Structure 1
Amino acid sequence: MSTEQNVTGPSLRARFQAVEDERRRSWAPDALAINANQRARLVREHGDQPHVGIGDVLPAATLTRIDGQPVALDALVANGPAVLVFFRFATCPACNIALPYYRDTLWPALKDARIPLVAISPQPIGALGDIATRHDLPFPVLSDTGLALSRALGLTYVFDTPSRHAAEAKGGTSEALNGTASWELPKPSVIVIGPGRVVRFADISPDWMDRTETPAILAALDLSPSAKERHHAA
């Protein structure tokens, strides 16, 4: 993950660590082990799966806004780069930390630079509206129907058996998470694309409690304070 400098307030890593500390105090050992083991397995196996990388060209995908309107990737990059933030689902605790963090630390700089930011999940739009309204997100939340784009980019993982059983025991279904029969979600990822849907930056997080910090995204877009200083000196 990235460095954490030049952003006001706690880093994502620090915010997630506070959640981890609380879980160690309050969760049953079995539940804690299921969560930790799934994440550890994803980290171990991450290098075995091909993923999207810098220089790749994304497919000409069209996603769906929570109001049902289509959003084409080509439209997002019509005037320059765009930032795509892939997240798991609307009630994911870590996603409810990450998206407000990006709202507060990333979106203002992107708005000033007129760079689109979108948050993408495979969850059906009927469920995604909740996270957008809960956090008053100023950027679009989009549904990746059937995980089509997430799968094309090599971002998805499948629940291991203990995680699936734990979710089912709480009444969860794969259809509620992604609209399909597969217990599959995207790994949290930040992808920056430019015109032609060419990837300029890609950071994929196999552990959903360790995500891309804002300074790395700003640096990839030459919007970090250090980048501005270099341009000024030149």
Structure 2
Amino acid sequence: MSESLNRQLAELHAQRLATWEPAALQVNIDQRQRLLDEAREASFVKAGDLIAPFNLLKVEGGSLSRDELLANGPAVLIFFRFAGCPACNIALPYYQRRLYPRLQALGVPLVAVSPQVPERLVEIKTRHDLQLQVASDPDNRLGGHLGILYRFDEASRRAALAKGSPIGDVTGTGTWELPQPTVLVIARDASVHFAEVSPDWLVRTEADPVLRAVEHLLGRVPVQLAI
């Protein structure tokens, strides 16, 4: 049986059920449910959309533009919340194991993107010795263009303030906005070939659909014709 990201995230939630204070747990559950209930899917990035020019900041220094990313063919972007996010610390190593080697063999860059400022975002790359690229989306500009941002609800803001760690301080952005976990396969012409947005950050895109989308885009998988 192949490794499942969502099984690992379900195990994280089960651990929280067993160890977290009920009130704190309920705030977390309610926020994720609200995001599901209020998801405006029509505004989410989708296949066929054209991605406008953008610039990301690499955690090692320097920038990465849309055109540089797509110079030799398609690319895969994975949007995540921030370096200290427990679910992200499960997801990114999973993508390193399950996506990065195959994409590297195909010559397709894989970039994990968060609005967190580079000097804080580098932590997740070094912690897991990630070979995939990690980059900052300054001021959530690309995330906003893609329609994938969310804001903390009032209960989540109060909980964060009670801990003394408003998310804007953690990310260095000064705002309560984060991207919803999102995976994009972008073709060389900057059109979106595959897009999946996950309002609940404990449910995320598995590797296999992404690999299939990339292989199909590269002509490695035959198209099944309708009969």
- 1:184 alignment partner AA: E
Q: Using the alignment, how far apart are the partners of 2:214 and 2:97 within structure 1?
A: 17
- Secondary structure in structure 2 of the residue aligned to 1:126: helix
Query: Which of 5, 8, 11 is 1:18 aligned to?
Result: 11
Is the aligned partner of 1:149 residue 2:145? Answer: no
Question: Which residue number in structure 2 is paired with residue 180 of structure 1?
Answer: 173
Shift of 1:101: 0.3
* Superimposed CA distance per residue, residues 124-161 of structure 1 (whole angstroms, 9 cap, x where no aligned partner): 01111110001110011000010000011101000001
Q: Using the alignment, how far apart are the partners of 2:122 and 2:220 within structure 1?
A: 36
Q: Using the alignment, how far apart are the partners of 1:21 and 1:32 within structure 2?
A: 11
Q: Using the alignment, how far apart are the partners of 1:116 and 1:18 within structure 2?
A: 30
What percentage of residue pairs aligned between the two structures are identical? 44
> Taking structure 1 as reference, are residues 72 and 48 closer, same or farther at Cα in structure 2, changes over 3 Å only?
closer
> Taking structure 1 as reference, are residues 228 and 71 closer, same or farther at Cα in structure 2, changes over 3 Å only?
closer
Is the aligned partner of 1:133 residue 2:116? Answer: no
Q: Using the alignment, how far apart are the partners of 1:82 and 1:172 within structure 2?
A: 34
Q: Using the alignment, how far apart are the partners of 1:47 and 1:66 within structure 2?
A: 31
Shift of 1:181: 3.3
The unaligned stretches of length 5 or more in structure 2 are none
Question: Which residue number in structure 1 is paired with residue 2 of structure 2?
Answer: 8
Shift of 1:47: 3.0
Is the aligned partner of 1:117 residue 2:115? Answer: no
Query: Which of 49, 64, 70 is 1:56 aligned to?
Result: 49
RMSD: 1.9
- Secondary structure in structure 1 of the residue aligned to 2:116: coil
TM-score (norm 2): 0.92
Runs in 1 of length 4+ with deviation above 2 angstroms? Answer: 173-182, 227-231
Shift of 1:229: 7.1
Shift of 1:179: 3.3
The unaligned stretches of length 5 or more in structure 1 are 1-6
TM-score (norm 1): 0.90
Question: Which residue number in structure 2 is paired with residue 167 of structure 1?
Answer: 160
Contact 1:55–1:199 (CA under 8 A) maintained in structure 2:
yes
Q: Using the alignment, how far apart are the partners of 1:149 and 1:66 within structure 2?
A: 17
> Taking structure 1 as reference, are residues 81 and 107 closer, same or farther at Cα in structure 2, changes over 3 Å only?
same
Q: Name which of structure 1's ranges 161-170 and 105-114 shifts more when overlaid on structure 2.
A: 161-170
Question: Which residue number in structure 2 is paired with residue 4 of structure 1?
Answer: none
Contact 1:190–1:204 (CA under 8 A) maintained in structure 2:
yes
Q: Using the alignment, how far apart are the partners of 1:103 and 1:125 within structure 2?
A: 19
- 2:115 alignment partner AA: P
Contact 1:74–1:196 (CA under 8 A) maintained in structure 2:
no
Q: Using the alignment, how far apart are the partners of 1:56 and 1:179 within structure 2?
A: 30
- 1:86 alignment partner AA: F
Shift of 1:222: 1.9
Query: Which of 31, 40, 44 is 1:47 aligned to?
Result: 40
